[in-house]
């Protein structure tokens, strides 16, 4: 019984003269060793009946019968699993998982709101800093404009004394004269 790497054993009554995997007389229960804990289900009334009739259990089956009589242990659970209890446990686990997800979502929203609030505060602080900087620059510009006017007046006498400045002034009218000559040449044509 079972599948590859998932064993599942039936406990049966079979004739000793028949092949091991041959026909059996009655199924007494089953054993699932890989479930957690291992699950053992035996009909103890029928087991006692067949032992009374002279049936000899194998070594493995006799150890399973002993475990079934003692009520199992931490590794082996005896009896059918309680379907209602499993469903209730799954429902509790699901409710706990949903509550944890809801709490995590609320915390994430709270963190996002705090981050947004912090970003707004940073933006306000940056805007105030920019306004303060702009006001400081305007104040510096006004102060520098007032301070530059006397300097410009001081520089003007220096420009009058420079010969380079006079040459540049003389060069401009000469260029205008050349333009006038070209215009006159075009009109005469």
Q: What is the pTM of this model?
A: 0.44
Half-sphere exposure at residue 174, Cβ-oriented, CA atoms within 13 angstroms? 5
pLDDT tens figures, 142-188: 777 766 555 544 555 555 555 554 455 555 555 555 566 666 655 66
In angstroms, rounded to a whole number, what is the distance separating the alpha carbons of residues 97 and 120?
Answer: 34
How is residue 11 written in tokens?
């406990």
How much is the pLDDT for 102?
Answer: 92
Q: Which residues in the chain come in under a pLDDT of 70?
A: 82, 146-189
How much is the pLDDT for 158?
Answer: 53
User: In a 3-state reduction of DSSP, which class is residue 131?
Assistant: helix
Q: What is the CATH number that goes with domain 2-80? A: 3.30.1320.10
DSSP string over 37-84: SEEEEE-HHHHHHHHHTT----HHHHHHHHHHHHT--SSEEES---HH
CB atoms within 10 A of CB 46: 15
How much is the pLDDT for 99?
Answer: 93
- C-alpha closest to that of 47 among 34, 61, 33: 61
- C-alpha closest to that of 30 among 73, 100, 79: 79
Helices (H), 53-189: 59-70, 83-161, 163-188
How much is the pLDDT for 140?
Answer: 77
Q: Where do the domains of the chain lie? A: 2-80, 82-137
How far apart, in Å, are the Cα atoms of 172 and each of 18, 24, 65, 158, 168?
130, 126, 123, 21, 7
How much is the pLDDT for 97?
Answer: 93
How much is the pLDDT for 189?
Answer: 56
């Amino acid at each position: 019984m079972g599948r590859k790497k998932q064993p599942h054993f039936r406990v049966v009554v079979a004739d000793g003269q028949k092949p091991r995997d041959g026909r059996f007389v009655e199924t007494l229960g089953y054993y699932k060793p890989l479930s957690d804990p291992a699950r053992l289900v035996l009909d103890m009334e029928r087991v006692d009946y067949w032992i009374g009739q002279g049936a000899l259990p194998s070594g493995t089956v006799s150890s399973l019968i002993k475990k079934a009589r003692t009520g199992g242990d931490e590794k082996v659970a005896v009896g059918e699993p309680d379907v209602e209890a499993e469903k209730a446990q799954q429902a509790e686990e699901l409710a706990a998982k949903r509550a944890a997800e809801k709490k995590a979502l609320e915390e994430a929203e709270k963190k996002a709101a705090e981050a947004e609030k912090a970003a707004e505060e940073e933006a306000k602080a940056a805007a105030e800093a920019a306004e303060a900087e702009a006001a400081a620059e305007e104040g510096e510009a006004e102060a520098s404009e007032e301070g530059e006017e006397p300097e410009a007046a001081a520089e003007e006498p220096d420009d009058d004394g420079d010969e380079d400045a006079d040459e540049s002034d003389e060069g401009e009218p000469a260029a205008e004269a050349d333009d006038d000559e070209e215009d006159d040449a075009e009109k005469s044509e």
